[in-house]
Structure formats: C-alpha cells, structure tokens
C-alpha cells in the first residue's frame, strides 16, 4: 500500500483521519501520542517524564520518540505500509525516519489556527473514555455514565496556543522538507471529517494507481 505520514497542527484531525484510513486501507495506525498517553495512564517512569513535558506544551525529546517509532515500524504488520500520526514533528525526526523507513506520502491537513484553539480548548473527557465538546454538550456530566467531565491539561487554551507556537517553529518546516522530496500533498481540513477524508483518500488512491 503506502508508507504515509500525516502532518498538520495540533487539533487538525490527524488522529480521526488516521483511524478512518486504517479501516479503509488495512494499514496500522501508529500514534506516538497514544503510546505516550498509555504510559501516562499506567504511571510508568516514561509516562511521568512525558506528562511533565506535554503539560508544558513542549515536545518530547527526539531521541526518545525516534527509538519508540523505529521499534514499532520494525513489527511485521508494517511491512505493507503504515499511517504515522504525530511523528515526525521536527526536521531531526524526519531525517532519522528517512534512515530506516522513508515515507512515500506526506499529507498535510491544513486548518485555521483559531479554529484549532476552539476545537481543542472546548474538548472535555470522561474517565469512561467518552469525549465531548462544549459546543455540542453543555452539561458538565457524561451522558453515558454520569461522571463529571474534565479538561486535559494539554487542552487548556494557553497550552494549546503554546503547542501551536511550537508547531510553527519546529514542525511546520516539515512541509518544506517533504515538498523538497516530492512526496508532499496538502488538503483542506476546514470542511469537516468527511470532506477531509475524501481528499486524503484521493491522494492515497492516486499514489497507489501509479505504483
């Protein structure tokens, strides 16, 4: 199939699109964020270290992230390709990835930053796993289990704006990096999940036809 990297600002919908693409193309969805959050929930030494970094709106050090990704891409289910979500985030990470599994497609989901702030800062979580948004769920309680909803520390507006600042400084240069390698495709992510999915799928289908 294809080795795919999804790019875009925090809150651009990379995780949502990756989950849909996983179902359509039967490719493993690899999210460094999911790996880190699992460690945070379990209270591992890595999780404690990562939580402190994420809560400040900063990026996890390259060497730690690269080692995790390299190990994951060596697994048998990645032989036909993968969907990377949240990695690489810096030029150093991208260069490291080129050394062991160069992407064939880098798809940038382009969204308005103020829309990102509203999208993330309005998100509320429940301990049962349900997720809500204040624009569609005004209650402070979970509709499924009745528990009180909470806002993740890295979803707070000041932290979101810091994440976007870090993205502009460290991650956005990846667009030029992958453009120079001829694998970059940019899609409009402002139109909602379905329209974005259609645009991303069009890029992948076009790539697979010419392979």
Q: Where are the domains of the chain?
A: 3-201
Rg of the Cα atoms in the chain: 17
For the domain spanning 3-201, the CATH number is 3.40.50.300
pTM of the predicted model as reported, rounded to 2 decimal places: 0.80
- Catalytic member of 49, 70, 152, 156: 152
- Catalytic member of 14, 51, 119, 124: 14
Question: If DSSP codes are grouped into helix, strand and coil, which group holds residue 132?
Answer: strand
- 163 an active-site residue? yes
- Catalytic member of 51, 119, 124, 163: 163
- Catalytic member of 3, 51, 72, 89: 89
Structure-token pair, residue 96: 């490291």
Please state, in angstroms and as integers, the Cα–Cα distance from residue 28 to each residue in 5, 6, 22, 62, 108, following that order: 12, 13, 6, 22, 19
Question: Which phi and psi angles does 181 have, rounded to 5°?
Answer: -100, 0
Please classify residue 205 by burial: count the beta carbons closer than 10 Å to its beta carbon, then call 0-12 exposed, 13-18 middle and 19+ buried. exposed
Amino acid 91: pLDDT: 92
Amino acid 140: pLDDT: 95
In angstroms, the CA 60 to CA 54 distance is 7
- 14 an active-site residue? yes
- Catalytic member of 3, 72, 123, 124: 123
Pair 4, 82: CB distance under 8 Å: yes
Amino acid 211: pLDDT: 67
- 152 an active-site residue? yes
Contacting residues for 114 by C-beta, under 8 A, at least 6 apart? none
One digit per residue, pLDDT tens: the chain, 211 residues?
Answer: 799 999 999 889 998 999 999 999 999 999 887 778 878 888 888 788 888 888 888 878 888 888 888 888 888 999 999 999 989 988 999 999 999 999 999 999 999 999 899 989 999 999 999 999 999 999 999 999 999 999 999 899 999 999 999 888 888 999 999 999 999 999 999 988 999 999 999 999 999 887 6
The helix or strand, by DSSP H or E, that contains position 208, with its residue range, turns out to be helix 193-210
């Amino acid at each position: 199939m294809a080795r795919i990297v999804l790019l875009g600002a925090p809150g651009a919908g990379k995780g949502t699109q990756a989950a849909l693409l996983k179902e359509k193309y039967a490719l493993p969805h690899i999210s460094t964020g999911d790996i880190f959050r699992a460690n945070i929930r379990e209270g591992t030494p890595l999780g404690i270290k990562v939580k402190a970094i994420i809560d400040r709106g900063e990026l996890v050090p390259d060497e730690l992230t690269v080692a995790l990704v390299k190990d994951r891409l060596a697994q048998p289910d990645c032989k036909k390709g993968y969907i990377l979500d949240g990695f690489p985030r810096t030029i150093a990470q991208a260069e490291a990835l080129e050394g062991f599994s160069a992407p064939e497609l880098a798809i940038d989901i382009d969204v308005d930053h103020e829309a990102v702030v509203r999208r993330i800062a309005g998100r509320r979580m429940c301990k049962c796993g349900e997720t809500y948004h204040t624009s569609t769920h005004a209650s402070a309680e979970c509709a499924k289990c009745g528990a009180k909803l909470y806002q993740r520390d890295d979803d707070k507006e000041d932290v979101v704006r810091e994440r976007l600042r870090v993205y502009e400084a460290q991650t956005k240069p990846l667009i030029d990096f992958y453009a120079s390698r001829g694998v970059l495709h940019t899609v409009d992510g402002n139109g909602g999940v379905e329209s974005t999915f259609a645009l991303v799928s069009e890029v992948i289908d076009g790539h697979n036809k010419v392979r």
